[in-house]
Amino acid sequence: MSSHTVSKNMMILWLRKNMFSSWRSALLSLGSLWLAYLILVPILVFVVHDANWEVIVDNIHLFAVGSYPADQLWRVFLNVVLLMGLIGGTVATQTTMGIKSASLFMLFTACALWIVIGGNGSDREGMNAINHYFLIAGLGLYLLGYTTTKKKAFSRAKVFGIGWLLYILLSLILLSGFTGNSFLPKVTNHLWGGLLLTLLVTVVGIAASFPFGIALALGRKSELPVIKLFCIGFIETIRGVPLITLLFMGQVLIPLFLPPALVVSNLVRVMIAVTLFAAAYMAEYIRGGLQALPIGQNEAAQALGLNRVQTNFLIILPQAIRAVIPALVGECIALFKDTSLVAIVGLLDLTGAAKAAIGQPNFIGLEAEVFMTIALVYWIFSYLMSIYSQNLERQLGVGIR
Amino acid sequence: MTKNRLKLAASTLFTLVLILGASSVFAGKLDTVKRRGILHCGVNKMIPGFGFLTPSGQFEGFDVAFCKAIASTVFNDPTKVKYVPLSSAQRFTALQAGEIDVLSRNTTWTASRDGAVGLDFTVTTFYDGQGVLVKKDLGIQGISELAGATFCTISGTTTEKNITDYFAKRNVKFKLLTFEDADGMMSAFRANRCDAATSDRSTLLARQYAEKNPSIYVLMDQTISKEPLGPAVGSNDSQWRDVVVWTVYGMLAAEELGVTQKNLEAMKKNKDPVIQRLLGVTGTLGKGLGVDNHFVANIIKNVGNYGEVFERNLGMKSKFKMSRGLNALWTDGGLMYAPPFR
């Protein structure tokens, strides 16, 4: 018997065992195959044959950065390059993530970021070559970030506390620039859009809501009645309304109440609303972690002579947060997807850009192409976060220890 | 003594603050816009032909052109506009809250919006109305010939009610198929599930030209409802409203007098006193409105006259090949009529 027939027999055996073990499962298997055929074939025909992908190719600029001026795009690119380095460093803090999955992660990220950098060359000739330098620089910085973090053994706290916070500040300055500066001219934030805006709202939302959420969770367990009542009231109010309500409040009520001089820009109001919303949920997850801790931890810390602050930050919180990492990452992913709601209040995020693209005279009625594409983009980023969180759980031994 | 003096000083200060505060509240929109140096214009970002974003993220369209025209009136610079894309839910609050100076977003002028909602409409820039799209081979001349026909339309709009009223008045039977959005309506129409599609004419036209073969359809000239669209401003600021009103009238008058982007420089030397007054060569019409005396010339230079804007965005020079219809000048049998510039 040749090895070919062996493998063929193996396959038949596998099929018989897993799909046709009884007449019931045979029926189910055939039924599922038929269903899959019914669903997949039209999708495939659409993607390969019917769809008009020109709407995506022509609108890469809109999808990536919204109305950001074309001659200032290098600032976005530089931002992306820095982000690559930081992601490299973040991946390197994952000791359970092998070389294989780290390179997979890099490939995945590179693909996602290529959308921003690579595609934007369609605007002008000669921009393409420069774009590729940016891409190469990004990949290089990713490796640099990875190896440096590995070599120096930077802790996760350092990478997140210093690296990411510094990056957020730097990128905001880089993107907005200064009035009257010829090198970094001001680009007001109503011009920011596309994937750039989606990621920005997400990153700022996560970074700002995490400490806020911790404070609220601790406050809710506080013995001081005023603080406790305030935290409970805040959390329950925010959790009691949908995010879109908060967004509309920010859009509609704040400008009506505040004098014009005090009204901050649309984007900032959205960021505040998203942060408040995420913080309330994070607080409840963290409170769950706090309550899961045995009271003995607290008593042991006090017996060692730690004061309340030390007890909280050295003993209680690290354990409490570790216990609820899956829920926290879930909240981050949810926050990322929730940012699509800002399209309703007139911001031009990825979803807003998609809606705008189908309003162009050349591309009326191409909803399917556009929404399939942005769904893919949302999926890629959500999946990246998910991979990261799975690794984080494995490394911290959630559910094992 | 000192106590009294302190009291006096405090009350003077208080009054001063009040006056300053009040004056800043009642400062006209025109002054606010001039001081700010940029016009805030509320637009739609997803209506083909009227307000949309180009692939590089610039706002374009018929409604957007009026933002550029107003910016030309105030600053002689069509780029000094901050476009605020608004949903239909947000648009009125944005205007009331002063977030935008003018709303140029396919808004129908109605009594309730002018009254209860607290907007001030300016001039109708586009006379829309509910129309009917049929296949050419039906060979139909008027909507009333469609007795007993099936109509596709979009649910939850006044279009349903309008078409029902239209046929009820004539005591004629017809069938109605409603769909969630324009896509559903058009695919049913394409598949011959109905004889005609009905919605706003501008929507139908955009949809017609999105079809693979637009020429097999015909959009009837007849309308069965009134949808006058035009820019709106906040209530009770007649100076600012005048600026917007005369910006639009300036574009209409320029078309009527034959002043175009191309012949503007030649027209400035024209001996016709009407043209001279319009372009600010003589007279003080612009100054009276609180803007540059040459404001109409600036609009024409930067944006073009009404006809040019129409043709570029909706008419023969665009994808939509829309005829002027009611939007023709009154001299051509339309409704566009500007009061005299004198």
Q: Over pLDDT 90: what percentage of chain A? A: 31
Q: How confident is the model at residue B61 (pLDDT cuts 50, 70, 90)?
A: very high
B96 contacts A190? CB cut-off 8 A: no
Chain B nearest-CA distance from A190, in A, is 8
B206 contacts A345? CB cut-off 8 A: no
Least confident range from A67-81, B9-23, B118-132: namely: B9-23
Nearest to B207 among A68, A364, A367 (CB): A364
Average the pLDDT over A139-145 and give the result: 84
Average the pLDDT over A280-305 and give the result: 92
Least confident range from A153-162, A230-239, A275-284, B320-329: namely: A153-162
B56 contacts A62? CB cut-off 8 A: yes
* Interface probe, candidates A73, A189, A360, A369, chain B, greatest B C-beta count within 10 A: A360
| Bridge partners of residue B199, in order along the sequence | B131
Put simply, whether B40 touches A (Cβ < 8 Å) is no
Domains and CATH numbers, chain A: 193-364 (1.10.3720.10)
Identify the pLDDT of residue B18. Answer: 47
Identify the pLDDT of residue A97. Answer: 67
| Chain A positions in Cβ-Cβ contact with residue B187 (cut-off 8 Å) | none
| Chain B positions in Cβ-Cβ contact with residue A346 (cut-off 8 Å) | 45, 84-87, 90
Q: How confident is the model at residue B195 (pLDDT cuts 50, 70, 90)?
A: very high
Which of 43-62 (A) contact B at CB < 8 A?
Answer: 58-62
Identify the pLDDT of residue A114. Answer: 67
Domains and CATH numbers, chain B: 29-127+228-332 (3.40.190.10), 130-225 (3.40.190.10)
Angle made by CA atoms B106, B71, B293, in degrees to the nearest 5: 125
User: Which tokens go with B106?
Assistant: 């396919």
* Spatial CB neighbours of B305, under 8 Å, sequence gap ≥ 6: B251, B252, B254, B255, B259, B260, B261
* H runs (alpha helix) in A124-253: 127-152, 156-158, 165-176, 194-220, 225-239, 243-248
Does the structure show a pLDDT above 80 at A323? yes
Going B112 to B117 to B118 to B119, the CA torsion angle's sign is negative
The greatest distance separating any two alpha carbons of chain A, rounded to the nearest whole angstrom, comes to 87
Q: How confident is the model at residue A359 (pLDDT cuts 50, 70, 90)?
A: confident
Identify the pLDDT of residue A137. Answer: 82
Which of 240-299 (B) contact A at CB < 8 A?
Answer: none
Three-class SS state of B268: helix
Does the structure show a pLDDT above 80 at B23? no
Identify the pLDDT of residue B20. Answer: 47
| Bridge partners of residue B219, in order along the sequence | B133
| Chain A positions in Cβ-Cβ contact with residue B199 (cut-off 8 Å) | none
| Chain B positions in Cβ-Cβ contact with residue A67 (cut-off 8 Å) | 53, 57-58
Identify the pLDDT of residue A121. Answer: 53
Average the pLDDT over A96-122 and give the result: 66
Identify the pLDDT of residue A113. Answer: 65
Put simply, whether B17 touches A (Cβ < 8 Å) is no
* Interface probe, candidates A54, A60, A179, A364, chain B, greatest B C-beta count within 10 A: A364
| Chain A positions in Cβ-Cβ contact with residue B98 (cut-off 8 Å) | 255, 260
| Chain A positions in Cβ-Cβ contact with residue B90 (cut-off 8 Å) | 248, 251-252, 345-346
Averaged pLDDT score across all residues of chain A: 84
Phi-psi region of B128 (alpha: psi -120 to 50; beta: other; left: phi over 0): beta
